[in-house]
Structure 1
Amino acid sequence: MSWLYLRGIVLTLCLARTASSRLHPECEYIFQLEREERYCLQYITEQGNRSSEGCQPFWDAVACWPQAVTGETVQRGCPAVFSLFRNNTGSVSRNCTSRGWSKPFPPYHVACSVEDDIPETEESYFATVKLIYTIGYSISLGVLAVAVLILLFFRRLRCARNFIHIQLFLTFILKSVAVFIKDATLFSSDDTNHCTLSTFACKASVVFCHYCVMANFFWLLVEALYLNSLLLSSFYSRRFLWGFSLLGW
């Protein structure tokens, strides 16, 4: 059973579990696996000077197996990470043969009562959602870019009202660009472990995305304030545009 397959089982279960903690549930299990792996590698290092006969200790992605002699059957309880999903009292065994360790029997998903099927519906669902909003943002970006060019090109359309419209359109454009940048940064790798991702590009893309969303809402507020000022006063000064610009951006 491969590492990616076993990790897929763990991540599938953690997505189905609701937990309230400082860590995201998915990260809780990944960190648990990493801790178990460190302990196992430390154990393997300590056993390094002993006899090389038989089967050597190794880490199989979810459990640590000790050194054994040829012909010995090693039995151990379900890995600790599976106990985070539900109480598991099962056990898994491996035979130490002349060719090395056998496959675990019964398999982990049978002995520890976990699902071995990784649902493809969730993955396809999120991929479809991502495709839909990418197409939507792309169309929005193109249409708004044309609208801004039209408002800037024709001199007759240059007024305070359209100036505010242009700023609002620009925030929608920036929000679309920010989403594309964020997706390209966060989903550039297929690695399932995003818990330790803390790069400057990651942080900057998320901050920029949130700033664009915030600016978009503030320019919607500016639109409302501008209309309100026209209703309350017949005199309007262009100096208000500076205040509106500072508020919006």
Structure 2
Amino acid sequence: MERSINITAFILLMFLKLLKLEMTSGKVLEETYRKWVQYKDDCVRMIKYEPLPQVGLFCNRTFDRYACWPDTPAGFMVNISCPFYLPWFDKVSKGVVRRRCGFDGLWEREDNGQVWRDMSQCKEEKEVTSQELWFKQLLVSFRTLYTVGYSSSLATLTIALSILLSFRKLRCTRNYIHANLFVSFIFRAVAVIIKDTMVDRHWGREIIKQDDVSEMLSHQAAIGCRIAQAAMQYSVLANHYWFFGEAIYLYSVLISSVLIENKKYLPYLCLGWGTPLLFVVPWVVVKILKENKECWAVNENMNYWWIIRFPILFASLINFVIFLKILGVIFSKLRANNQSRYPDYKLRLAKATLTLIPLIGIHEVIFIFATDEQTTGILRYVKVFFTLFISSFQGLLVAVLYCYANKEVQTELKRKFGSWRTELQIACCGP
């Protein structure tokens, strides 16, 4: 669709500008976005308040997310100046972008159905290189990457959760913690998918008539994606703190003896589901009071973002410390050849958690000093890639390690399938 191509091209140009200019401030994209919002707001006001033509057939005023088009008489070509938000506007300030209004009063379209537009004079005066095409594919790949990751995680986690809750013999504190971790991952995957859908719905419309303007500017239009944004932040925090609970439980099993009895399951619930509320609620309040714009997807004041960032980094650092502590204990016990006090299930639990704790913590620890404000160029893309890859596919890995590869679960599934097979044979063939 035209608007999807437009916005993809727009983001691509911003990213390329970041790389080619090697801006040390890392603010080109943010500044361009701010100017784009200003341009959009000016266009929206024009669409809403400019008087309509009195006579004649004309094409309606519109904003196609790239340029602002006025009412144009049928059969005429309209030329408007290149949008001022372009990072290279100083080079194309005298250029124009064009559209043609057909004799039927509709914007002229190409053979593929897209509205025709000539923006050649507004492009940066550089040839399209293979590197630019590669970055365009990279942007599409990022979106596809985490969509596939979250979708596959959602499917595998849903099945894994139903397995843990279906067998009575699998019901214990350890598996209850696993189940809540699964739920947090499911919640996170659903929240991300819904958030993307809501943001696309809010931003991905072409403004044609005045009713579109009123709808887009109304709080009702943005409230859905704001709720989805808050739900996603809550699910991310819950995800990290249920991993925190997993780390504490493993530490309790292998090293100390606290918080492992069934009667102490409540503290894990408070930690996993209650702690995120202590940070998400203030963040929502700050957003409403200070940055109540669009879908809350842009952090103009990064200090507010630390309300969400700090608890995530804190949990990741503690997980990493516990990981190192447990690793040292296991190595010392193995060297002493004294595993009698550590049943097989504890070692399996340790192996699974030791695999997961680095994934949830190390990438956060590595980029703890490479914040969003400081990362530019290749480092920014590396950070985005690893964050998206690990976050989206982590649920799949959790389901495999804590459920499908769990020998207790495999034993119960084999026993259940054997029972079903026996019952089926009896029903079909008789005793």
Flag whether TM exceeds 0.5 (same fold).
Answer: yes
State whether structure 2 residue 187 is matched by structure 1 residue 174: yes
The answer as to 2:28 corresponding to 1:25 is: no
Name the % identity.
Answer: 25
- For 1:222 and 1:235, how far apart are their aligned partners in 2? 10
Aligned with residue 152 of structure 1, among 159, 165, 184: 165
**2:154 — aligned with what?**
141
- Map 1:173-192 onto structure 2 (within 5 A): 173-188=186-201, 190-191=204-205
Which position in structure 2 is the counterpart of 1:67?
A: none
Deviation at 1:224, TM superposition (A): 1.0
Which residue pairs with 1:87 in the alignment? 90
- SS of match in other structure, 1:199: helix
In structure 1, the partner of 2:248 is 225
User: How much does 1:216 deviate?
Assistant: 0.6
2:247 maps to amino acid: A
Shift of 1:39: 8.0
Flag the 1:31–1:140 CA change in 2: closer, same or farther, 3 A: same
Please give the alpha-carbon distance, in whole angstroms, between the structure 2 residues aligned to 1:137 and 1:35: 37
The match for 1:215 is: 238
Q: What does 1:117-128 correspond to in 2, within 5 Å?
A: 124-128=137-141
Specify the alignment match of 1:35 in structure 2. 42
Q: Label 1:199 to 1:120 Cα distance change in 2 as closer, same or farther (>3 A).
A: farther
Measure, in 2, the Cα distance between the counterparts of 1:244 and 1:21.
43
* 1:93-112 superposed matches below 5 A: 109-110=120-121
TM-aligned CA deviation for residue 244 of structure 1: 1.0
Take 2:193 and 2:257, find their aligned partners in 1: how far apart are those partners? 42
Change (3 A) 1:204 1:59: closer
Find the aligned partners of 2:191 and 2:198 in 1 and give their Cα distance.
Answer: 10
Contact persistence 2:245–2:268 (CA under 8 A): yes
Contact 2:82 / 2:95 at 8 angstroms: preserved in 1?
no
The CA distance in 1 between the partners of 2:39 and 2:240, in whole Å, is 40
Question: Which residue is equivalent to 1:246?
Answer: 270
Closer, same or farther in 2 for the Cα pair 1:13/1:31, shift >3 Å? Answer: farther
**Structure 1: distance between partners of 2:205 and 2:156:** 35
SS of the counterpart of 1:187? helix
- The 1:115/1:82 distance shift into structure 2, 3 A limit, reads farther
Secondary structure of the 1:232 match is: coil
Distance in structure 1 (CA, Å) of the matches to 2:206 and 2:44: 17
Work out the CA distance in 2 between the residues paired with 1:10 and 1:135: 24
Aligned-pair Cα RMSD in Å: 4.7
Segment drifting more, 116-125 vs 167-176: 116-125
CA contact (8 A) 2:181 2:243 kept: yes
Residue in structure 1 matched with residue 100 of structure 2 by the alignment: none
* Structure 2 residues not aligned, in runs of 5+: 19-25, 54-60, 71-79, 97-117, 208-215, 274-431
| Stretches of structure 1 lacking an aligned partner (at least 5 in a row) | 49-57, 65-75, 94-106
Rounded to whole Å, the distance in 1 between the matches of 2:119 and 2:35 is 20
- Which residue identity is paired with 2:90? N
Mapped to 2, the partners of 1:23 and 1:40 lie a distance apart of: 26
Inter-partner Cα distance in structure 2 for 1:176 and 1:32: 34
Q: Greater RCO between the two (CA within 8 Å, min separation 6)? A: 2
What SS class does the counterpart of residue 146 from structure 2 fall into? Answer: helix
Query: Cα deviations across residues 19-44 of structure 1 (Å, max 9, x unaligned)?
Result: 638965223134136437868999x8
Sort the Cα spacing of 1:132 and 1:241 in 2 relative to 1 into closer, same or farther, 3 A.
Answer: same
Indicate conservation of the 8 Å contact 1:178/1:205, yes or no: yes
Name which one, 1 or 2, has greater alpha-carbon Rg: 1
- What amino acid sits opposite 2:165 in the alignment? L
1:92 and 1:236 map into 2 onto residues whose CA distance is 70
Deviation at 1:215, TM superposition (A): 0.4
Per-residue deviation, residues 160-192 of structure 1 (Å, max 9, x unmatched): 111111111111111111111112111236348
SS at match of 2:265: helix
State the TM-score, normalized to the length of structure 2: 0.39
Judging by fraction of residues, say which structure has more helix: 2
